[in-house]
Amino acid sequence: MNTINTEKIKKDFQIFKNKPNLVYLDSGATSFTPDIVVKSMDEYYYKCRANTSRGVYELSEKATQKYEKVRRKVKNFINANDESEIVFTSGTTASINLVAFGLKDTLKHDDEILITASEHHANLIPWQRLVNNENLKVLNISSTGEIDLDEFKNKISKKTKVLAIAHVSNVLGTIYPIKELIKIAKKNNPQIITVIDGAQSVPHIKTDVLDLDCDFLTFSAHKMCGPTGVGVLYGKKTKLDKLTPLFTGGDMIEEVTFKNSIFTEIPHRLEAGSANISGVIGLGSAIDYIENIGIENIRNHEIKLLEYATNKLKETFGDEIEIFGPIDTKKRSGVISFKFKSYHPHDIASILDSYSNICVRAGNHCAMPLHNEVLHVLATTRASFYFYNTKKDIDIFVKGLKKVEQILK
């Protein structure tokens, strides 16, 4: 394990040069992009700007090679069996919708889907549309942001067709014991399909799909140093094969007549239309960048920041600050959502921004039912960390909160 040299790392990001006083604590929403990733995308536009899988000329050939090389890279990054199990999408939301729609034809009216109370709207609404209200089961989340394993066991039956759950909660930061949950789920119902929302986990913790034994995993490039508008859907070959394509059109067919079409094999069957080629190339470069730093080093750095921030917030504000989610940093990703006195999160975020150059998120973070029905607050303020954040950032953040107190009294 190596300590991350943040001084050196910040030099990889042009944005820190352009905004030297910025304290960015919103990587849970979207991360910064290192110059090398931007450059890799520029290179595509400058040197091999052609469509993939279409042209027979050399330029298109080169673009296709670059694009497909990233598929192998992603396969290795999450330890999938085969590169055909990697589908490129526009992001986690698109990936989950692809799975939900793809399963539509195989679900029966009395099938059940199990999610948790902390899901992001992207892992809730696609499932709401799939089954009747009463068949969308919601697993409770405790006040410390955890799942009760006994309740979980009881809620998985032969009727439970799909388990859809985030590996890490984007509000609570909880790292759910996915491997154990999948094991229990498959024991209770060997036919169950497991869909893991990895948007908040893949950028921060080592994710091994074979070890987890999940059927599907979804994540976004823009939360892991990559560009916006690119994501991944991983699926076991046998499971991906059965998905009905949500999008049809160019590049996903074997043969087309006016009356009928025969679709091609995965992954291309699920990638209709021209791809986000530069974006995918950027994702490949982002994976290289992250692997170079080391995902274990990233996790270790975030744990240190999390411990430092939690202690400092408690020391400074005591009970006036309420942090949601697990106390044990081993069970928690670098996310701190909190309530500060009776101050509205919008006021907190606005004051942090205008007086201290600090970016945090305020609102319900696309998890409205979690806020309204579990945490019983209108909104929370969220600070989230990545490997480029420092203890100094947290010192400024705590000082910024004192300013909030001073202004709102």
Partner 1 sequence: MSIYQEQILQHYHNPSNNGILQNSTHSSSRNNPTCGDKMRIDMIIKDNKITDISFSGEGCAISQATASMLTEQLKGEKIEKLNNMTKEDIISILGIELSHARLKCALLSLETAQKALNNPKYNEKR
350 contributes a contact to partner 1 by CB under 8 A: yes
Stretch of residues binding partner 1 (CB under 8 A), selected from 138-146, 166-174, 295-303, 345-353: 345-353
366 is catalytic: yes
Nearer to partner 1, 175 or 349 (CB): 349
Nearer to partner 1, 104 or 402 (CB): 402
Could you give the C-alpha distances from 313 to 270, 330, 340, 400, in angstroms and in order?
A: 46, 18, 10, 11
End-to-end alpha-carbon separation of the chain, Å? Answer: 44
Catalytic residue among 48, 214, 225, 366: 366
Stretch of residues binding partner 1 (CB under 8 A), selected from 154-162, 202-210, 271-279, 346-354: 346-354
Among residues 40, 118, 285, 364, the one that binds partner 1 under rule CB under 8 A: 364
Please name the residue that has the structure tokens 């009905």: 244
Among residues 246, 344, 395, 398, the one that binds partner 1 under rule CB under 8 A: 344
Nearer to partner 1, 272 or 378 (CB): 378
For residues 175 and 172, give the distance between their C-alpha atoms in angstroms, rounded to a whole number: 9
Among residues 35, 111, 347, 395, the one that binds partner 1 under rule CB under 8 A: 347
402 contributes a contact to partner 1 by CB under 8 A: no
Stretch of residues binding partner 1 (CB under 8 A), selected from 84-92, 221-229, 243-251, 344-352: 344-352
The arrangement of strands across the sheet holding 112-116 comes to 86-89, 231-235, 216-220, 193-197, 160-166, 112-116, 136-139
Among residues 19, 157, 354, 392, the one that binds partner 1 under rule CB under 8 A: 354
Could you tell me which of 26, 22, 6 has the C-alpha nearest to residue 222?
26
Total residues binding partner 1 (CB under 8 A): 20
One-letter amino acid for residue 49 of the chain: R
368 contributes a contact to partner 1 by CB under 8 A: yes
125 contributes a contact to partner 1 by CB under 8 A: no
For residues 140 and 305, give the distance between their C-alpha atoms in angstroms, rounded to a whole number: 29
For residues 236 and 217, give the distance between their C-alpha atoms in angstroms, rounded to a whole number: 9
Stretch of residues binding partner 1 (CB under 8 A), selected from 86-94, 146-154, 255-263, 347-355: 347-355
| Number of helical (H) and strand (E) elements in the chain, helices listed first | 15, 15
Among residues 371, 384, 389, 394, the one that binds partner 1 under rule CB under 8 A: 371
Phi, psi of 356 (to 5 degrees): -130, 5
**Minimum distance of partner 1 from residue 26's CB (angstroms):** 14
**E-state strands within 136-202:** 136-139, 160-166, 193-197
- The DSSP-derived string for 294-352 is -HHHHHHHHHHHHHHHHHHHHHHHGGGEEEES-SSGGGB-SEEEEEETT--HHHHHHHH
Active site residues: 366
Which positions lie near partner 1, rule CB under 8 A? 344-347, 350-351, 354-355, 362-364, 368, 371-372, 377-379, 407-409
